[in-house]
Amino acid sequence: MIVTPGHIRDIADLVTGRVIQHARLADVTTFKIGGPAELLIEPGAPEELRAALAYLREARIPVFILGSGSNVLFRDEGFPGAVIRLTGLRGFTIQSNGSDYAKVSAAAGEPLPALINRCAGDGLRGPEALWGIPASVGGAVVSNAGARGVWIGDLLSEITIVTPAAAEQRLARENFSCSYRSIDLPASAVVTAAGLRLVRDDPDAVEASMEAARKHRWETQPMGFPSAGCVFKNPAPDNPAGAIIDRLGFKGRSVGGARVSDAHANFIVNAGGASAGDVLALIEEIREAVRAAEGVDLELEIRIAPEGPAHA
C-alpha cells in the first residue's frame, strides 16, 4: 500500500469533494471494468485540485487523472495510487464575440454532451458532430476527440492547465498544437478548462447537423453495451482500424465477457462481467492477427492504467 491513513486525512482536509479509499474503478468508467483505486479523489474546485496534486507529488503517490472515464481501461489489480476524478469541476459560460462568433468557456469536468446540446440550442456551430461522445470536456481536449472530420482541437481558442509544479497556466491557441487524437502539453499537465470559438448560425441548421451525427452514430456504433469507444487509433485516415478488424472476421469474437462489437469492429464491448484481463487478451489477439495479415501495428486509442504491456 502506498497511501497511508495519514495521507487520507491530509487530503480530506484539502478537498471538499469525496475522498474514497479502495474505490471500485468499474463504477467510474464507461467500460464498467477495473479493480480498486487505493484512493479516489474528487476535487470540488481547481484550487483544490492544485493543492491535492502538490501534496501527492510531495508524497510521491502515483496519480491518474480521470474525466468521465470513457476512454480508459483500468486493470483488474486496480490503481496503486490516487485517481483524481475531475467531474466536480463544472460549469460553462457563453460570451458573445460580435454577432458572428461566441466564446464558450467550459470547466474540464463538464460533460461534453451537455455542452454540445446547449451550444446547438443557442445556434452555435462547431462541436455538434461530436454528439454522443461520452467524454468530459477535459477528456475530449486531451484526446483531441473527433468525429466526422471535426476535431475539438480545431475549435479551441485557449485552454487552462495545471502544470507539473501545480501552478495554473492559460495557454492561447498558438501555444499548443493538436494532432490526431493528441495535444502536445507538458508531461503531467492537467487540463482544467477550455475556451472554444464557435460560429453563430441558424439553430435549425446546427440541429440538422447534430441530427446527422446522431444518425451516423446510431447506425454504425454499439449503443447498448458498456465500452470505451474505439479501442485502436486508425493507422491512416484511409485505413480505418474498424475496417481492418472487420475484414479479418473479428466481429462477435469473445474472450470471457469481452466481445468485438457486431456494429463496429473497433469497439470492444463489455457484454457482461468482462474483466480487464478479458479485454487485454482480446486486444492482443486482434493486434497479432492484424500484424500477421497486414503488417500493421495497431496503436491503442484507449489508455490502459496502470501503463505497461497490454497483456499482463
Distance CA 119, CA 106 (A): 11
Indicate whether 294 belongs to the interface with ligand EPU (CB under 6 A). Answer: no
Q: What is the nearest approach in angstroms of ligand EPU to the Cβ of residue 250?
A: 9
Q: Parallel, antiparallel, or unpaired: how do β-strands 63-66 and 79-85 relate? A: parallel
**Cβ-Cβ contacts under 8 Å for 171 (sequence gap 6 or more):** 158, 159, 160, 161
Q: Is 287 in the site for ligand EPU (CB under 6 A)?
A: no
Which 8-state DSSP code applies to residue 130? G
Catalytic residues: 181, 230, 301
| 229 contributes a contact to ligand EPU by CB under 6 A | yes
Task: Draw the binding track, 209-228, toward ligand EPU (x: CB under 6 A; -: no contact).
Answer: -----------x--------
Residue 279 binds ligand EPU, judged by CB under 6 A? no
**In angstroms, what is the minimal distance from the CB of 105 to ligand EPU?**
24
Q: Identify which range of 16-24, 163-171, 236-244, 281-289 contacts ligand EPU by CB under 6 A.
A: 236-244
230 near ligand EPU, rule: CB under 6 A = yes
CB 38 within 8 A of CB 62: no
Q: DSSP string spanning 60-101?
A: T--EEEESSS-SEEE-TT-EEEEEEEGGG---EEEEEETTTE
Please, which residue, 19 or 260, has the CB nearer to ligand EPU?
260
H helices of the chain, in order, are: 5-14, 46-58, 112-121, 137-142, 152-155, 203-220, 241-247, 276-294
Residues in the interface with ligand EPU (CB under 6 A) total 16
Q: How many CB atoms lie within 10 A of CB 266?
A: 24
Residues of this chain, 138-167, that bind ligand EPU according to CB under 6 A: 147-148
Q: Which is nearer to ligand EPU, 176 or 232 (CB)?
A: 232
Q: Which of 10, 76, 154, 246 binds ligand EPU (CB under 6 A)?
A: 246
Rounded to whole angstroms, the Cα distance separating 134 from 145 reads: 10
Task: Give residues in contact with ligand EPU (CB under 6 A).
Answer: 147-148, 220, 229-230, 233-234, 240-243, 246, 264-266, 301
